[in-house]
Homo-oligomer: A and B are copies of this chain.
Amino acid sequence: MNKQKLIEQIKKKQSFLCIGLDVDLDKIPSYLLALDNPIFEFNKQIIDATHHLAVAYKPNIAFYEAYGIKGWQALQKTIDYLNQKYPEIFTIADAKRGDIGNTSTRYAKAFFEDLNFDSITVAPYMGSDSVEPFLAFENKFTILLALTSNIGGLDFQGLQTDTSKVYEKVLKTALSWKNSHNLMFVVGATRPDYFKTIREIAPDNFLLVPGIGAQGGNLQDVCKYGLNSDIGLLVNSSRGIIYASKGDDFAEKAKEKALELQQEMKKILSLQ
């Protein structure tokens, strides 16, 4: 998918909501466990109930790897379902990969070609030649961790270097890499004070923002400095939507939670 189509979808749906598909078999309704592929069945119902309210879905790969081959099959079925039934949806493999060049190429092929995700999250610690193999894919997006939402996020990202903090160096340096027009960045909703600086460094890139809801981030705070002329935000909610109910009405309740967020987003966009 190209960036323009993503922007068009956001404007049409009046939503920049991304839904995290982090499926935990201990948290889904028990009747699903009797089915052949409970993870996929859960995802399918969540997607069918919310696809008109969200512009992106983000399976966190850890939750699939945790179930071995069955988990991998569920991931494959989920991305195939999204690509076939809802081709307008932007898909994110939340994999946080990154390795030396020839190995990153392998990961890029696995997620961009074989699974056919639109994007993947990548960790920056190993530098240029660990990220550029992902950037080489056109109309695919590399979403680089910049400033993460978790407690330990500032342990190294917040270190002061000679001229700026490490996460600022990551942003600036990455924008100098080949094919940096294919970059997006992960910035946690729990760091609202940093969005102004981040938008000064990266005014044009989409930001994938996890951390609203369960982790304590707030949509208004994120939008204050995060929005740009392309809207430029994908705000993720996982647990707050997909586990809104543990009962048989989980998809219906997920829809209600997604609608709440979409309505809040619509309101924010109308004030721009």
A97 shortest CB reach to chain B, Å: 7
Q: Does A110 contact B (CB under 8 A)?
A: yes
A75 shortest CB reach to chain B, Å: 9
A40 shortest CB reach to chain B, Å: 14
Q: Does A103 contact B (CB under 8 A)?
A: yes
B100 contacts A97, C-beta separation under 8 Å: no
Q: How many copies does the complex hold?
A: 2
B130 contacts A156, C-beta separation under 8 Å: no
Q: Looking at the complex, which one of B149, B162, B173 makes contact with A155 (CB distance below 8 Å)?
A: B173
Contact status of A128 and B152, CB under 8 A, knowing A68-B110, A72-B72, A109-B66: yes
Interface of A with B (CB < 8 Å)?
A: 22, 60, 62-63, 65-66, 68-69, 72-73, 76, 94, 96-101, 103-104, 106-107, 109-110, 114-115, 123-131, 145, 148-157, 159-162, 166, 169-170, 173, 215
A159 contacts B157, C-beta separation under 8 Å: no
B109 contacts A129, C-beta separation under 8 Å: no
B99 contacts A126, C-beta separation under 8 Å: no
Q: Looking at the complex, which one of B96, B110, B129, B152 makes contact with A127 (CB distance below 8 Å)?
A: B152
B145 contacts A126, C-beta separation under 8 Å: yes
B150 contacts A169, C-beta separation under 8 Å: no
Minimum-distance CB pairs A-B, first 10: A127-B152, A127-B155, A128-B152, A62-B106, A100-B150, A66-B106, A129-B152, A159-B161, A65-B110, A66-B110
A127 contacts B150, C-beta separation under 8 Å: yes
| Bound complex: CA A169 to CA B155 (Å) | 9
New A-B contacts (15) at CB < 8 Å, excluding given A68-B110, A123-B125, A129-B150: A62-B103, A62-B107, A62-B110, A66-B106, A66-B110, A69-B69, A98-B123, A100-B149, A123-B126, A124-B156, A126-B148, A127-B153, A127-B155, A127-B157, A130-B150
> What residues of chain B lie closer than 8 Å to A60, measured between beta carbons?
99, 103
> What residues of chain B lie closer than 8 Å to A159, measured between beta carbons?
159, 161-162, 166, 169
| Bound complex: CA A127 to CA B73 (Å) | 31
| Residue of chain B at shortest CB distance from A170 | B156
> What residues of chain B lie closer than 8 Å to A161, measured between beta carbons?
159-161, 166
Q: Which of A22, A69, A150, A162 has the most CB of B within 10 A?
A: A150
